[in-house]
Structure 1
Amino acid sequence: MTSTGMSCLILADGTYVDSNKIMGSGLDGYIVRDPGASIVMKIPKLFVELFRACHARRVLVFDIALRNLMLADNLSIRAIDFANGSLLPLSGDEKLVDSRGYTADVDILHVTNVIYSIACWKKFQVDCVAINEWPAAETLPSTADLPLGQVIVESWSHQFKSLDELKRAIMSAASHTPAIPRDGDHTIQKPVFLSAPLPALLC
């Protein structure tokens, strides 16, 4: 599952970056330094809300990964690459499941993997397209001492049935997380231009 048509990024300082030489062509490629705890706690809330809105409109996204998340200067987030997603009938059953057997639960898994990536500032993903491919607990990395670590573990353990529940858990954890002093400046290199066609469907 790769994003196509994206060859070059122009960063805020005018630097041209070959997307084939960085971690990916989305949010994973923009992370250049540890941003500090405040950003680590803020970004997950934003993109959980993004995908929660997709589910509310009965859209299963499927390709949820750092490479498909675009971060703007104001830290707002956009998702791209809905090529493998599913738009389900608005009048359908409340449960989100498409003809391939892909479900909202698997979207939640991949959202959680992105949360983990942001918490430890390192790309992480698993291959899972159906509930019976859910990774075993012993194959998943430790979340000890990570921001939102307990929330991540609970999500990997199927304890959240919707992104609404995951969002509430993140909000609760964030409200109990003390501010952490930062040494020096911590920045994110953010794009101001993408030389790439974007899919028509955006959330």
Structure 2
Amino acid sequence: MEDLENEIQVFKRLGCHKGIIHCYKTSQYGIELARAQEDLESYLGNSPEPEDSLKVNWMSSVVDTLSHVHSRKVFVDDIALRNILILDGQVQLADFGQSVLLPLDTDVASADDKGLNVQVEILHLGWVLYSIASWKVYKYYFFDDGLGWPELDSFPHTDDVLCGGIIAKCWRGEYTSVDHVKEEVHSLLASQGKLSKR
């Protein structure tokens, strides 16, 4: 019940956003969400690799959505392919059961909740971006074993994937906010003529 109430409060704080699954209503019994077709983990495993234009759209959407979430002073925590749903051809962040509601006056860049901070969120964002770019399912969740930040040689090479340099920076902990990731993604893709005007 505590987890349910926490997730309800997260949905209320996040409000409506095109990259977040629509929440119709909440009650003490549950949360009613829009019905998606599939989760991203299943979709990557079952669908043929698309043109880069779809990957670009989805990668940009995921980054934009996490930027919005952080602007609302929320850490997602469980950033994973299974928690991103496909609804009418668009990716939607959907699971906030483990999310952390930070005080509204929090500086997200310096916030830390039992080891969860913006660099950890961006580290896991990097895995989502890499999975979309390479069109392969990669399962990951660091820090469960208490070993801390993973060794850089434990990551796959990113030289030949879309936004590879940005993904590598996510893994190296070089970003201090998701807004910085967003700026670089948009700048890179726009320079390559791959990002449609919004």
Query: Which TM-score applies when normalising by structure 2?
Result: 0.71
Aligned residue among 41, 47, 51 for 1:28:
41
Q: Gaps spanning 5+ residues in structure 1: where?
A: 1-8, 12-24, 180-203
Question: Displacement, 1:70?
Answer: 1.1
Q: How many residues align?
A: 156
Q: Which has the higher contact order (CA 8 A, sep 6+)?
A: 1
Give the 3-state SS of the residue equivalent to 2:112 in structure 1. coil
Q: Which structure: greater helix fraction?
A: 2
Question: Is this contact kept in 2: 1:110–1:125, CA < 8 A?
Answer: no
* 1:150 aligned residue: 165
Question: Is this contact kept in 2: 1:60–1:87, CA < 8 A?
Answer: yes
Identity, in percent, stands at 31
2:105 aligned with 1:91: yes
Which 4+ stretches in 1 moved above 2 angstroms?
Answer: 91-96, 129-132, 176-179
* Matches of 2:138 and 2:73, distance apart in 1: 26
Aligned residue among 147, 165, 176 for 2:191:
176
Q: Gaps spanning 5+ residues in structure 2: where?
A: 1-34
Change (3 A) 1:68 1:10: closer
Aligned residue among 109, 118, 124 for 1:110:
124
**For 1:46-99, what per-residue CA distance to the aligned partner results, in whole angstroms no more than 9, with x for missing partners?**
011111111111111011011100122142x3222212111011023442322x
Question: Displacement, 1:29?
Answer: 1.0
* Matches of 1:96 and 1:72, distance apart in 2: 32
Change (3 A) 1:37 1:128: same
Q: Superposition RMSD on alpha carbons, in Å?
A: 2.2
Question: Is this contact kept in 2: 1:106–1:129, CA < 8 A?
Answer: no
Query: Which TM-score applies when normalising by structure 1?
Result: 0.70
* Matches of 1:56 and 1:10, distance apart in 2: 25
